Amino acid sequence: MKKLKSIILSLSFLCLVVCVIFFVQFFIESVQDRKEQEELIRKKQTAAEVAIPDAGQTEHRGILNQYRILYEENSDLIGWIRIEDTPLDYPVMQNKEDKEFYLHRNFNRDYEYSGLPFLDINCSLDPPSSNLIIYGHNMKSDAMFSCLTEYLNQDFYREHPTIQFDTLYEEGRYEIIAVILSQVYKKTDDVFKFYQFVQTEEETEFNAYVQNMKKLSLYETGIGAAYGDQLLTIVTCNYHTKNGRLAVLAKKTEEWN
């Protein structure tokens, strides 16, 4: 009996040590992630305040001032996504060779579990695809795309109805059309797969995508889209079902202040 108690106590202590190590590691990584995010934001803001002449280098021509320095550091940078008054304020990346390169890598291309938001490898910015799909982790902290879960509450949507997504060359504001809960389906499943719609030249296909998204929306936003509008879909994991996803669909608006 004493031996059993000793084993139980030893296992309990071991579990406690593992939990402490896990939470300490989580805290350290969260602090590090936040420092890296703040440094990227600082560089962007500093560059925006400096008039940088358009150099003769073709790859830099036309790039907005605030993104030139960051682009020089990592040419996988394709833009920046931000939702006002939330922690979501990050560069957006795209690696043409590896579709999930930034799933667990930071801006310096080093391993980091939280990764960075990245544009679907099938999407293009020049010319822009009909629908730009951006993925990001749903972290247990407030990092990355975790704040998207707040859109499950319609009151949060009313307070945050727009998304700012800049490309390297143009600032952009997007009005939210729909907020949906879905999942990654099997290839053989004959269902609407929101993540497969990237490009179309057909008005009927465009309209069908928007209608399907609005039909799945958790609430009515009063915002629609017409063929020719630039769409943006931002996606993160959600745990309502196996392989669950939360997606927010928005359209680019001409208004920009």
The DSSP symbol for 186 reads: P
Within-domain flag for 197: yes
The answer to whether residue 170 scores a pLDDT higher than 50 is yes
Joined tokens for residue 42: 């600082």
Question: Does residue 240 belong to any structural domain of this protein?
Answer: yes
CA distance 16 to 235: 35
Q: Are 132 and 79 in contact (CB under 8 A)?
A: no
Give the pLDDT confidence score for residue 20 in this predicted structure: 42
> What band does 18 get if pLDDT is binned at 50, 70 and 90?
very low
Confidence of residue 23 (pLDDT cuts 50, 70, 90): very low
Is residue 133 within 8 A of residue 148, CB to CB? The reply is no
Q: Which backbone phi and psi does 116 adopt, to 5 degrees?
A: -140, 155
In a domain, 120, yes or no: yes
Distance CA 237, CA 228 (A): 29
DSSP 222: S
Residue 80 in domain: yes
- What does the pLDDT read at residue 253? 93
What CATH number did the domain enclosing 102 receive?
A: 2.40.260.10
Per-residue pLDDT tens over the stretch 107-141: 999 999 999 999 999 999 999 999 999 999 998 87
Share of the chain above pLDDT 70, in %: 80
C-alpha torsion sign, points 219, 223, 226, 232: negative
Which pLDDT belongs to residue 35? 77
Domain membership flag for residue 43: no
Flag whether pLDDT at 198 surpasses 70.
yes
pTM (predicted TM-score) = 0.85
Residue whose token pair is 């943006």: 232
| Spatial separation of the C-alpha atoms in residues 110 and 226, rounded to whole Å | 41
Number of compact structural domains in the chain? 1
Residue 215 lies in domain: 76-253
Q: Which two tokens stand for residue 58?
A: 């073709």
In a domain, 151, yes or no: yes
pLDDT at 3: 61
Pairwise CA distance, residues 257 & 212, whole Å: 31
28 domain-assigned: no
17 in a structural domain: no
- 231-237/131-135 β-pairing: parallel
Which tens digits make up the pLDDT trace of 219-239?
999 999 999 999 999 999 999
